[in-house]
Amino acid sequence: MKELTDKYWPIVKILFIPYLFMMFLLVYQIDYFINAPGGITEVEKIISIDYNEDKTEEGSISSTFVVSLSRPTFFQFLISSFSDYNYANILTGNSATYTNDEQNKISFLDKYTSVNEAIIVAYQKAAEINPEIVIDVYQKVFVRGKAPYLSFYDDIEFGDEFLYMMGDGDVKVEDFQEIGNYTIDSDSYDFFFKNNEGETYSRTLTKDEEEKKFGIVLYQYNLVNKENTYPTYHENNSNIGGPSGGLLQTLAIYNMLVEEDITKGLKVAGTGTIDIFGNVGYIGAIEQKIITAYVNDVDIFFVPHKSDASNDDYILALKACAKHGIDSTDWIVPVSTFQDALDYLEGIDE
C-alpha cells in the first residue's frame, strides 16, 4: 500500500492542486460589486390603471435596469473584467457591512416606496386638468438602516414599520424626529415596531457607549391610501429593486391618466428617482444604463441633471456616450424635475 501511495502521490498532487485552485476561484467571494448592462421594462407591465381603457398609445415608456452582483466570486470577477461594458469596484460604506440579503431588502423597500411617490406625483399632476382624479396620501416610518452595534440586530428587519418609542415617564413618542429630545436622561428605551406579517413587537434599544446612538435609521415615506384614490391602480410583482425607475414610472402613470399620448409614438426610457415634490434624483450605474438603452433602440433617454453636483449624472452620461461611440445629440435629455421631462415630451412634434 505504501509503495502505491509513494508511486501515485506525485500524480495526485499535480491533479489535486489545480482542482483546489479552481474551487477557490469558483467559491470564494470578494467584497466587490459588479454592474453590467441589463434591460428595459415597460412601466405598464408593472403598473396598470382602470382608466382611459380605450386610449391607444403609439409609443412606450420604460424604466432601465442593470444587472448588479454584490460579493462576486473570483471567477465571476475575472469573467466580468473581459467586457468594457461592465463596472466593478470595492464595496464601501453600508454596502460593505450589510449582507447581500439585507441589501436586497433595502432595494425592494426603496422600490416599493418609490412606486408610491411616482403614483402620488402623477395623480396630483393629472388632477390639475381632471378634477375627478383623486389621490389620498399618508405617511409611515420604516427601518431603513442598522448599525452593527444595534441592540437586537437580528430581530429588527429592514422594512419593519416604526410605531412609537416609550420615553421617560412612559411618554409615547410617535414622531421619530423628536426621539432625540426624549432620550437625553437615559440610554435605554422601548421601541415598538410592526413587521411585514402585521405583528407588533417591542425591543429595548440601548445607545452605543462610543457612538451615543441607538444604531437604527428611520425614514418617513409617503404612501397611497388606495381606498380613497381614484381611479384604481394595480401593481404587478417584479424582481427588479431600487428607486431609480421613479421618474419613468411617474411619466407612464401620468400618461395612463390623461387623454393625450405624451409618448408621441416614441420609445421613451431613462432613469432617475422621484420625490414627493417631483424632483429627479441621483442614480447609480449610469454607464451601464446608457448601453442598455442604446442596444434596445430607445429614442429618448432621460437622465438626472444637477448643475451644482460634482457627480452629475448628465455629465457622466455624456462621458459614457463618448467612451462607447454613441451620438448623444437629441437622445440624452437632462432633467431636474418631472415637469422638465413632461415639458420636453409635450414640446415634441408628432
**Residue 22 confidence (pLDDT) above 70:** no
**pLDDT score for 2:** 52
* Model pLDDT for residues 47-90, shown as the tens digit of each residue: 999 898 888 888 999 999 999 999 998 888 888 888 999 999 99
Grid cell, residue 212, equals 451615543
Residue 5 belongs to some domain of the structure: no
Mean pLDDT on 176-183: 88
**pLDDT score for 52:** 81
Task: Count how many Cα atoms sit within 13 Å of the Cα of residue 249 in the half-sphere of its side chain.
Answer: 29
Count Cβ atoms below 10 Å from residue 47 Cβ, excluding itself.
19
Grid cell, residue 164, equals 412609537
Q: Which pLDDT band holds residue 154 (cuts at 50, 70, 90)?
A: very high
Residue 15 belongs to some domain of the structure: no
Spatial separation of the C-alpha atoms in residues 64 and 271, rounded to whole Å: 6
Name the CA dihedral angle for 72, 75, 79, 84, rounded to a multiple of 10 degrees.
50
> Do both 167 and 302 map to the same domain?
no
**Residue 278 confidence (pLDDT) above 90:** yes
**Residue 266 confidence (pLDDT) above 80:** yes
| Structural domains in the chain (count) | 2
**pLDDT score for 225:** 95
Q: Which pLDDT band holds residue 103 (cuts at 50, 70, 90)?
A: very high
> Do both 317 and 210 map to the same domain?
no
Q: Which pLDDT band holds residue 160 (cuts at 50, 70, 90)?
A: very high
Could you tell me how many residues make up the chain? 350
Kindly report the average pLDDT of the chain as a whole number. Answer: 89
**pLDDT score for 17:** 66
Residue 264 belongs to some domain of the structure: yes
Predicted structure pTM score: 0.88
**Residue 168 confidence (pLDDT) above 80:** no
> Do both 117 and 209 map to the same domain?
no
Strands 200-206, 216-224: pairing is unpaired
Q: 33 — phi, psi (to 5°)?
A: -130, 155
Q: Which domain holds residue 101?
A: 32-136+225-346
